[in-house]
């Protein structure tokens, strides 16, 4: 803000914004009738849209007191010199303002001492979307005119801020600039308009390049402007860049070095002494170069050429060179989908185009369209308008078919079943194939460990297996079927064998009395000496790697973890075993609740090797968590039904125990 003070002279000479004004000589007898003088004014040079401000001013005169009124006008859309002429157009008008204070002035006339009256008025600046002017008009309200609010002040004004101008000296219209803060940097730096890319012919000055500057705190004329160039050989900012204009509107003219062509980045930096803002734009001198995008259909073998067109906007009087290099885009693979290429293209003087050729390599893999890029660099005697050209490689290979290698197969219970899915040709994409399961066999009872749908044939591969294990049981039943049916694949089509039927043949287990496992003889004719009974299979146990173990002697399927449930009373043990299902106790076999149970006394005892102790199990068994304590059977003790049979795993002994006691639980499934 600035404050100006006006002195009263007998000749009444006042400086108004650099102009000299002579007032009429005041006669002594008319001293008390002299109009008041606007002695000083405090106001912001530039105000912001929508913000609140206070005007302060003083009137000096010989009246007992004065009242004043202020009217504010938004000059947006008004011709200069007309804004504020019609008082009814004011967007805000104060009330009749009485002085906020007074003091004796330095003037006197005919013995009458003048009085300086102080006033202030707070107002909100108009909301604008572009910088505009605001006119302030002061009015005197004489006593006789106060009711009507009449009486335009005929005041002398001096010492105003530099940005406040007079439209005329009779109505005292004062002009203040209202600034729209939008577009100003958040740190209070000056605002500089964007300058677009410019082009000019070689040896030719550019057209006038307009741009604007503004600052929230300072006049545009007080801002400092500097200019730099990224290519001083082409455009030297000292002597070949000319800045004209004043205030907020500025202009550049650029004269490139004679005989030179190319491009340069010109940076205009505007500073208010504290903050600065830089704007950079490109000037292209002479011809400009562009590379186009193309599509190429690949072959099955060898290569085809991807020919990138490189064009000038106009012929050049000098030979033009530009470097180039290829690069991948997305999942494209260099030297598999195309041949890596680098080099320099030359366009002779007078010509307007050239070609960059890159080999595209053929294959027979079905795949998505590939993309690679050629990028231009290091131009000589030319500027680059478009530096990147992309080639889309159109795949010409059909999607493969997928099908089972056979429509049927027959297996025996207990077998690991494999059904193979085969592509007609390897694909460059991951082929996903869903399938559903039907048939008369029951999951978890008749088969388990089925491969999860969908299966994926990885890119570059041609097949994948679907597997499951057929359960071995002692039940004599009809042959059962598992039917695998393919759904709609991704990146393939269905072939001939879209379904595969597996028939599970029944294996009848002949009742046997196996050996006890005791191999040491302690007396003539004892078990260890005679070794009676059917020999155990070797290996006896098969770890199915799905949380289950198959006993090849009995066909029973046991839980691998022999201590999943800890010690429980008998009824709780029955419930825990029956509720067991895949996803619990390490099971991934696909079994469901109800498939498992507590073994009966004979089944549990069948595990015992009476040649071993602690635990009494065969050497090399695959079970985990085996305890040397008591394990419940599902058989009740007939001579005392509050008891149930157990097997003591330490030595294989069998006896009855109270059902309310806590013992270990070892579930089993299968059996007759």
Of 257, 285, 313, the residue that ends a domain is 285
Q: How far apart are CA 119 and CA 67, in angstroms?
A: 9
SS (H, E, C) 198-251: EEECCCCCCCCEEEEEECCCCCHHHCEEEEEECCCCCCCCCCCEEEEEECCEEE
Does 323 lie in the same domain as 263?
A: no
The model scores a pTM over 0.85: no
Tokens of 59: 């009137």
Of 242, 264, 285, the residue that ends a domain is 285
Tokens of 444: 């978890």
Residues 394 and 297 sit within 8 Å (Cβ to Cβ):
yes
Residues 357 and 334 sit within 8 Å (Cβ to Cβ):
no
What CATH number does residue 204 fall under? 2.60.40.10
Q: How far apart are CA 402 and CA 466, in angstroms?
A: 13
Which residue from 644, 648, 652 is spatially nearest to 629, judged by alpha carbons?
648
pLDDT of residue 473: 64
pLDDT of residue 112: 73
SS3 577: helix
pLDDT of residue 57: 83
pLDDT of residue 6: 28
pLDDT of residue 671: 66
Positions of the chain with pLDDT under 50 = 1-30, 144-164, 166-169
Of 116, 151, 179, the residue that ends a domain is 179
pLDDT of residue 509: 53
The answer to whether residue 513 sits within a structural domain is no
pLDDT of residue 163: 44
Domain count, the chain: 5
pLDDT of residue 581: 93
Does 293 lie in the same domain as 206?
A: no
pLDDT of residue 510: 54
Does 252 lie in the same domain as 202?
A: yes
Peptide bond into 253 cis (omega under 30): no
Q: How far apart are CA 206 and CA 263, in angstroms?
A: 13
566: Cβ contacts below 8 Å, ≥ 6 apart: 664, 665
The answer to whether residue 185 sits within a structural domain is no
601: domain range?
527-669
What CATH number does residue 58 fall under? 2.60.40.2550
Tokens of 483: 């039917």
The answer to whether residue 521 sits within a structural domain is no
pLDDT of residue 258: 87
The answer to whether residue 148 sits within a structural domain is yes
The answer to whether residue 518 sits within a structural domain is no
């Amino acid at each position: 803000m600035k404050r100006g003070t006006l002195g009263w002279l007998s000749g009444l000479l006042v400086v108004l914004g650099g102009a000299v004004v002579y007032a009429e000589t005041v006669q002594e007898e008319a001293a008390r009738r002299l109009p008041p003088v606007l002695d000083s004014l405090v106001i912001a040079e530039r105000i912001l849209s929508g913000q609140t401000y206070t005007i302060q001013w003083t009137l000096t005169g010989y009246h007992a007191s004065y009242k004043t009124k202020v009217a504010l006008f938004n000059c947006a859309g008004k011709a200069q010199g007309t804004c504020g002429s019609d008082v009814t157009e004011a967007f805000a008008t104060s009330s009749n303002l009485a002085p906020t204070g007074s003091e004796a002035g330095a003037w006197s006339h005919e013995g009458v001492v003048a009085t300086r009256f102080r006033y202030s008025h707070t107002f909100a600046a108009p909301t604008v979307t572009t910088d505009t002017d605001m006119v302030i008009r002061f009015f005197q309200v004489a006593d006789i005119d106060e009711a009507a609010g009449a009486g335009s002040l005929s005041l002398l004004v001096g010492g105003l801020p530099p940005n406040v101008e007079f439209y005329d000296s009779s109505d005292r219209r004062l002009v203040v600039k209202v600034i729209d803060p939008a577009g100003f940097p958040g740190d209070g730096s000056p605002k500089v308009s964007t300058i677009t890319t410019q082009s000019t012919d070689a040896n030719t000055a550019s057209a006038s390049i307009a741009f604007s500057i503004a600052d929230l705190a300072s006049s545009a004329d007080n801002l400092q402007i500097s200019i730099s160039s990224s290519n001083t050989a082409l455009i030297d900012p000292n002597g070949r860049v000319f800045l004209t204009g004043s205030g907020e509107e500025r202009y550049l003219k650029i004269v490139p070095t004679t005989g030179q062509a190319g491009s340069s980045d010109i940076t205009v930096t505007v500073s208010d002494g504290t903050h600065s803002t830089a704007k950079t734009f490109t000037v292209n001198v002479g011809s400009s170069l562009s590379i186009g995008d193309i599509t190429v259909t690949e072959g099955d073998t060898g290569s085809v050429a991807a020919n990138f067109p490189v064009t000038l906007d106009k012929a050049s009087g000098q030979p033009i060179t530009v470097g180039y290099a290829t690069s991948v885009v997305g999942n494209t693979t260099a030297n598999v989908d195309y041949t890596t290429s680098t080099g320099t293209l030359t366009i002779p003087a007078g010509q307007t185009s050239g070609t960059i050729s890159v080999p595209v390599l053929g294959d027979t893999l079905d795949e998505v369209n590939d993309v690679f890029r050629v990028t231009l660099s290091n131009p000589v005697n030319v500027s680059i308008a478009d530096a990147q050209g992309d080639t889309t490689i159109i795949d010409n290979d059909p999607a493969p078919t997928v099908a089972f290698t056979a429509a049927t197969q027959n297996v025996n219970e207990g077998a690991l079943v494999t059904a193979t899915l085969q592509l007609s040709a390897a694909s460059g994409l991951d082929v996903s194939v869903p399938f559903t399961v039907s048939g008369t066999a029951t999951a978890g009872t008749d088969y388990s460990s089925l491969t999860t749908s969908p299966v994926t044939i990885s890119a570059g591969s041609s097949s994948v297996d679907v597997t499951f294990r057929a359960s071995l049981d002692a039940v004599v039943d009809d042959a059962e079927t598992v039917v695998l049916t393919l759904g709609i694949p991704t990146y393939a089509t269905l072939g001939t064998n879209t379904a595969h039927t597996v028939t599970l043949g029944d294996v009848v287990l002949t009742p046997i009395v196996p050996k006890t496992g005791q191999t040491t003889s302690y007396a003539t004719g004892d078990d260890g000496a005679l070794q009676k009974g059917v020999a155990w299979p070797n290996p006896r146990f098969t770890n199915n790697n799905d949380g289950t173990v198959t006993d090849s002697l009995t066909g029973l399927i046991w839980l691998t973890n022999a201590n999943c449930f800890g010690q429980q009373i008998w009824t709780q043990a029955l419930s825990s075993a029956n509720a067991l299902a895949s996803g619990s106790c390490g099971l991934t076999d696909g079994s469901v609740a109800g498939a498992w149970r507590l073994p009966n006394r004979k089944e549990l005892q069948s595990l015992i090797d009476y040649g071993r102790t602690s635990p009494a199990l065969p050497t090399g068994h695959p079970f985990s968590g085996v305890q040397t304590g008591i394990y419940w059977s599902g058989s009740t003790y007939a001579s005392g039904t509050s008891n149930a049979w157990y097997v003591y795993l330490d030595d294989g002994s069998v006896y009855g125990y109270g059902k309310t006691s806590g013992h270990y639980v070892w579930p089993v499934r299968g059996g007759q």
